[in-house]
Each structure stands twice: as C-alpha cells, then as structure tokens.
Amino acid sequence: MPALPSIPPDIMGSLKTLGQIAEHLSGHTDNNKSKAMGKPSLTQEAAADSSENKDHKEIEKILLEVVSQLTGYPVEMLAPDMDIETDLGVDSIKRVEILSALEE
C-alpha cells in the first residue's frame, strides 16, 4: 500500500494500539476534522463515512495480516485494541518493519 501516509517518529510513539495505527494510516482522524470545518451535507457525510470506513477496514485487515506474518501471532488472535508493546511485545524496530511491509 505505497499510497499510505508516512508516520513521523514523534507520532509513531504515541500510537499505542493496532487500531490507532490503522486510524492514522486511513486518515480517519484528519478527515473528521476537515468534515467539522467544511460542514458537508448529510448525503456527502454518509458517502464519505462509508468510503472512509471501507478504507479503514481494509487497512486494518492488511495491518493485522502483516503483524501476524512478522510476529508469528495468528491473525485470529489479533485485535485492533491490542497494545503493540504490552500485548504483542513489538518494539520500535519491529514497528518500522511492520510499516515498511505495509508500504510494500
């Protein structure tokens, strides 16, 4: 997924769960801010929410697959609310490997 935004090191340290990483990569949080400022119509909002949700779910699915491949945890064991350090034992080097694999 080479079109994904990069995550600067200062932000990477603040993303604690797989779900937070997926949200950041899908632009979910940034799009919510722009919606509040632009005040789109309800129809536009519903279409954007549907598209964002689909993109977010796709990114989340691929993220879980990559984490599974690089950590050895089965995908079925992984959940978006898992803390990458505490629950999975993923260090900063492994985080970079995961994000690099996502870009490839």
Residue with tokens 């990559």: 66
Three-state secondary structure string covering the chain? CCCCCCCCHHHHCCCCEHHHHHHHHHCHHHHHHHHHHHCCCHHHHHHHHHHHHHHHHHHHHHHHHHHHHHHCCCHHHCCCCCECCCCCCCCHHHHHHHHHHHHC
Three-state secondary structure string covering 23-52? HHHHCHHHHHHHHHHHCCCHHHHHHHHHHH
Q: How confident is the model at residue 32, as a pLDDT?
A: 43
Percent over 70 (pLDDT), the chain: 74
Least confident stretch, 42-46, 48-52, 59-63 = 42-46
Q: Kindly report, residue by residue over 60-104, the tens digit of the pLDDT.
A: 999 999 999 999 999 999 999 999 999 999 988 898 888 888 877
